[in-house]
Amino acid sequence: MGLRYDHVNNIFIYDEKMSGLMPNLMWHLTSECNLHCSFCFSKSGSQRKRIRIEDFKYYIKIFKNLGVQKVDISGGEPLLFDNLDLLCSLLSESKIFATITTSAFADDSQLEWLINNEKRFSRIILSLDAPYEDMHDSIRGQKGCFKKLLSLAKQLVLVSDRVRINTVCTDAISDKDTLNDFFSIITSMSLREWCLIQPLISNGMKDVFDTVVSIIDQMDITKVKIITRPNNIYSEYWVLEEDGMMFQRNQENNKYNIFSENQLQDLYKALRTDKGDENDGTEH
By CB under 6 A, which span of 9-17, 70-78, 106-114, 158-166 interacts with ligand SF4?
70-78
Closest CB 47 distance from ligand SF4, rounded Å: 12
Among 25, 26, 37, 156, binds ligand SF4 (CB under 6 A): 37
Read out DSSP for 193-218?
EEEEEPPPP-TT----HHHHHHHHHH
Which of 2, 20, 23, 75 binds ligand SF4 (CB under 6 A)? It is: 75
The CA distance from 120 to 124, in Å, is 9
Distance, CA of 65 to CA of 63 (rounded, Å) = 5
Q: What's the min distance (Å) between Cβ of 76 and ligand SF4?
A: 5
Q: How far is the CB of 114 from ligand SF4 (least distance, A)?
A: 15
Longest CA span, the chain: 54
Q: Contacting ligand SF4 (CB under 6 A), which of 69, 103, 198, 248?
A: 103
Distance CA 177, CA 10 (A): 30
For ligand SF4, the closer of residues 10 and 103 by Cβ is 103
Beta bridge mates, 168 = 197
Classified as helix, coil or strand, 64 is helix
Shortest Å, Cβ 119 to ligand SF4: 24
- Tell me if 33 contacts ligand SF4 by CB under 6 A: yes
Half-sphere exposure of 19 (CA within 13 A, CB side): 3
Tell me if 40 contacts ligand SF4 by CB under 6 A: yes
Nearest to 1 by CA among 25, 18, 26: 18
Taking the complex as a whole, the smallest distance from the CB of residue 31 to ligand SF4 amounts, in Å, to 8
